[in-house]
Chain A
Amino acid sequence: MTTVLELHDVTRSYGSPPTQALRGVDLRVDEGEFVAIVGPSGSGKSTLLNLIGTLDRATSGEVLITGERVDDLSDARLSALRAHTIGFVFQQFHLSEGQSTVDNVGSGLLYTGMSRGLRRERAREALISVGLGHRLDHKPKQLSGGERQRVAIARAIVRRPALLLADEPTGSLDSASGETVVQLLRELNGNGTTIVLITHDRDLAERLPRRVAIRDGLIVSDSGDPAIAGQTKSGVAA
């Protein structure tokens, strides 16, 4: 098993006087895992996901993506890493209203320098793989919430990232649409995609292979840390 993600004693402080959103987090995620991050509002889940996704930098500690330390990388190198290695799915989809689904998904490859024709071809494949082969030329407005999130997922996976990150992907969906999205993510994971997902949904988290609970900027439980396999940390279960 290769390790996709490693965090060592990571902290993140905001403002002055500094308030710590993360207070020393250790986490390791191996290839092929599907990890749910759970915790109350304001506990630091999004902060953690931003650091994992290299959208933000840790105040202290180490973040390693596919074995490489990213803390000291230049902005250009981090951008390159995101363009090729990390996929994001957001609660609000962030689709471009003026573009068809194919072009929205194709924009996932925009910053790889791939030609438009090739991007559209890959986008079509990705849309078929998320079950939207019949919605290629629709505009986001013409799609249901669940379909829109599946388009956003297709955009995230179109470049076949080593790591897929999702912040509350079902947060603005009804339970039925949410379920199709979860099924899709499970399917992708079954095909080998490593996924880290934030959720408020207890039932959803329960069904995932590994749950990391976070509270006040600290990991309080981890149902399957590969580093300490079998051991359970004391604290609140998710």
Chain B
Amino acid sequence: MSVPRSRLRASDLTGLAFHGVRAHPMRAVLSGLGIAIGIAAMIAVIGISTSSQALVQQKLAEIGTNMLTITAGKDYLGHETKLSPDALARIRHLDGVEEASWTSDVDTHVYRNPYVAAGATGGLVVRAAEERLPDAVGATLAQGSWFTIATRGLDTVVLGSTTAEKLGITEVGMQVWLGERLFTVVGILDPVLLAPELNTSAIVSPERATAVLGFDGIPTTIYERSEDADVLRIRDRLPQTVNPASPGDVKVSRPSDALAAKNTVDQVFTGLLVGVGSIALLVGGIGVANTMVITVLERRQEIGLRRSLGATRPHIRAQFLAEAILLAFLGGLAGALIGVAATAVVAVANGWPLAVPLLIPVGGLIATIAVGAIAGVLPAVRASHTPPTAALSA
């Protein structure tokens, strides 16, 4: 006598898994919750960080990475030394230079009004700036305007964004106390990404600074811009150009590199949070395993019945494994949706572009399948060892 083997179709196995999960919806939701939270946290963390980076990238693309900053270096006391007065002219003559300008620290301070204590400078710096500075550093004005022929010779000042905020200046026309004189605010800058030191500056014209603030007319920092392709070549030639006598003292930096470096720091932080998400996923997996163990104990009679209907041990194992995987997968799916939604909310609130690399939710779902499979192994094996007679014993 030859009896054909027991067989279970793949489609029926899937049906059994869905049926098992649907039999206890509340339990499915609760046991999938851990995994959902883990996946949601991971996707939100990565999504939010990539979205904010996308903003930086977008800005960098806008303002360019072709700006170089030249300083004279520091003396043995750590003070910035001065560049030679004709350095700017020499740089402008360099082949490929499109835009160049300078700023210089002025030895005085700025206050909201004359009654503020002299020591309370708030870290704000008074700088004189050459007229082409906004073009060189890519600065834009939030309010008012840059110095004009008319305002250059008067007691006027342009404030960096942080300076305006700290001094409580909300609109042009208001006055600040600078170098023992009242200066009228004619412009307020937007935050300058590539020259953040300008954000904490109060900028005056060199003419006025020389006239009333004792400024010596020598630049501290030069900002230079060129075609992207020329950046490296110019960078190499700058020290020689600026200080032929002692090129080693000249410091040339590329601020966009610093921004990129900041992103790397973010990635370390992201890695940490992803680690936390993985732990949540692991805990979620334990939750699924726990639920499955209980399910198997509760369903001894069903298992016995299936064995009496001809299910083999591998069929029973497959059924409970599929159920565990489905449970984890549904949790992961919910988590992915929540994670993307959370990222979208944060991105919209901050005005960032929404950027979730597709790899992350897809990878997350694959991870949940793996977690479900691992979580389901032990309960599934236990289920398959339930004796067939369990159907008869009440």
**Chain A residues within 8 Å of B, Cβ to Cβ:** 46, 49-50, 53, 55-56, 66-68, 75-77, 79-86, 88, 90-92, 94, 96-99, 107-108, 110-113, 115-116, 155, 167
Q: 17 A–B contact pairs at CB < 8 A?
A: A49-B392, A55-B304, A55-B391, A55-B392, A67-B1, A76-B6, A76-B312, A80-B4, A80-B5, A80-B6, A82-B310, A84-B3, A88-B309, A90-B305, A98-B22, A98-B23, A110-B309
Least CB distance from A88 to B in Å reads 5
**In contact, B4 and A94 (Cβ under 8 angstroms):** no
Q: B8 contacts A113, CB within 8 Å? A: yes
Residue B148, interface by CB 8 Å: no
Q: Nearest-CB distance from B312 to chain A (Å)?
A: 4
By a CB distance below 8 angstroms, the chain A residues around B187 are none
Contact of B391 with A94 in the complex, beta carbons under 8 Å? yes
Minimum CB–CB distance from B322 to chain A (whole Å) comes to 14
Which range holds the interface residue count of chain B?
20 to 34
Main DSSP-derived SS at the B contact region: helix
* Minimum distance in angstroms from A48 CB to a CB of chain B: 11
Which are the 10 A-B pairs with shortest beta-carbon distances? A83-B310, A113-B7, A111-B310, A55-B388, A79-B312, A83-B6, A111-B6, A88-B308, A94-B305, A82-B310
Q: Is the CB of B305 within 8 A of A79?
A: no
With both beta carbons as reference points, the residue of chain B lying nearest to A68 in the complex is identified as B1
Distance, CA A77 to CA B2, complexed state (A) = 10
Whether B311 is near chain A, meaning CB under 8 Å from some CB there, is yes
How far apart sit A155 and B306, CA to CA, in the bound complex (Å)? 12
Contacting residues, chain B, for A97 (C-beta < 8 A): 23
CB A203 to nearest CB in B, in angstroms, measures: 24
Q: Which residues of B sit under 8 angstroms from A50, Cβ to Cβ? A: 388-389, 392
Q: Are B310 and A80 in contact (CB under 8 A)?
A: yes
Q: Which residues on the A side are within 8 Å of B312 (C-beta)? A: 75-76, 79-80, 111
Contact across chains for B313 and A111 when beta carbons are under 8 A apart? no
Contact between chains at A112 and B310 (CB < 8 Å): yes
Q: Which residues of B contact A112 (CB under 8 A)?
A: 4, 6-7, 310
Instruction: Tell me, rounded to whole Å, the shortest Cβ–Cβ distance linking A157 to chain B.
Output: 12
Given contacts A50-B389, A115-B9, contact A94 B307 (CB under 8 A): no
Interfacial chain B residues near A167, Cβ < 8 Å: 392
- Cα A110 to Cα B23 with chains together (Å): 19
